[in-house]
Amino acid sequence: MELVPGQVAVVTGAAGGIGLAMAERFAAEGLRVVLADVEQPALDKAVGSLRERGAQAVGQVTDVSERDSVEALADAAYSAFGAVHVLCNNAGVGSGAEGRMWEHEPNDWKWAFAVNVWGVFHGIQAFVPRIGRAARVTWSTPPLRTAASPRCPPRRCTR
């Protein structure tokens, strides 16, 4: 992925872990960065730390499992910087990492799907129509990494 200084990257789950590392790398390459996370204190700290190093960074509290929240993230990104070039659908939860399928509570299944799967679709649907054909979109959850492509319809993604 060729990065050009001044471009805008949006990273979800950016308050820590891989998301923060991506945001830091984008900023180091001269990109402007929108950091999104559900955890406000950690998000504020991450944004503050990037700004202290001279980055143009803004934070937006976002729950990627909620479509409206991701739409609000897109609005905030365009309002702050007027464009988006890269979207990293990185937010994810490790719910149910161990054990057998039937040992997990239905709510744990719902939470994992809501964040790890629906969160990615919300990001794609909120941003890609606005970014257009030049959209560069990544996601960190393995099932969608292997199944999805720009032409992937619901049937193919779910079978």
Ligand X SMILES: NC(=O)c1ccc[n+]([C@@H]2O[C@H](COP(=O)([O-])OP(=O)(O)OC[C@H]3O[C@@H](n4cnc5c(N)ncnc54)[C@H](O)[C@@H]3O)[C@@H](O)[C@H]2O)c1
Q: Which is nearer to ligand X, 29 or 39 (CB)?
A: 39
Q: Please, what is the minimum distance in Å from the beta carbon of residue 133 to ligand X?
A: 26
- Residue 62 · residue 38 · CB < 8 Å: yes
Q: Please, what is the minimum distance in Å from the beta carbon of residue 83 to ligand X?
A: 22
Q: Which is nearer to ligand X, 13 or 59 (CB)?
A: 13
Contacts of 132 (CB under 8 A, 6+ apart): none
Q: Which is nearer to ligand X, 7 or 141 (CB)?
A: 141
The tokens describing 44, both together, are: 């504020």
- Residue 7 · residue 32 · CB < 8 Å: yes
Q: Which is nearer to ligand X, 7 or 12 (CB)?
A: 12
Q: Could you tell me which residues are beta bridge partners of residue 10?
A: 34, 87
Q: Please, what is the minimum distance in Å from the beta carbon of residue 6 to ligand X?
A: 26
Contact footprint for ligand X (CB under 6 A): 12-13, 15-19, 37-39, 62-65, 90-93, 115, 140-141
Q: Please, what is the minimum distance in Å from the beta carbon of residue 53 to ligand X?
A: 19
Q: Report the C-alpha gap between 122 and 100 in whole angstroms.
A: 28
Q: DSSP string covering 17-61, please?
A: HHHHHHHHHHHHTT-EEEEEES-HHHHHHHHHHHHHTT--EEEEE
Q: Please, what is the minimum distance in Å from the beta carbon of residue 26 to ligand X?
A: 15
Q: Which is nearer to ligand X, 56 or 138 (CB)?
A: 138
CB-based closest residue to ligand X? 92
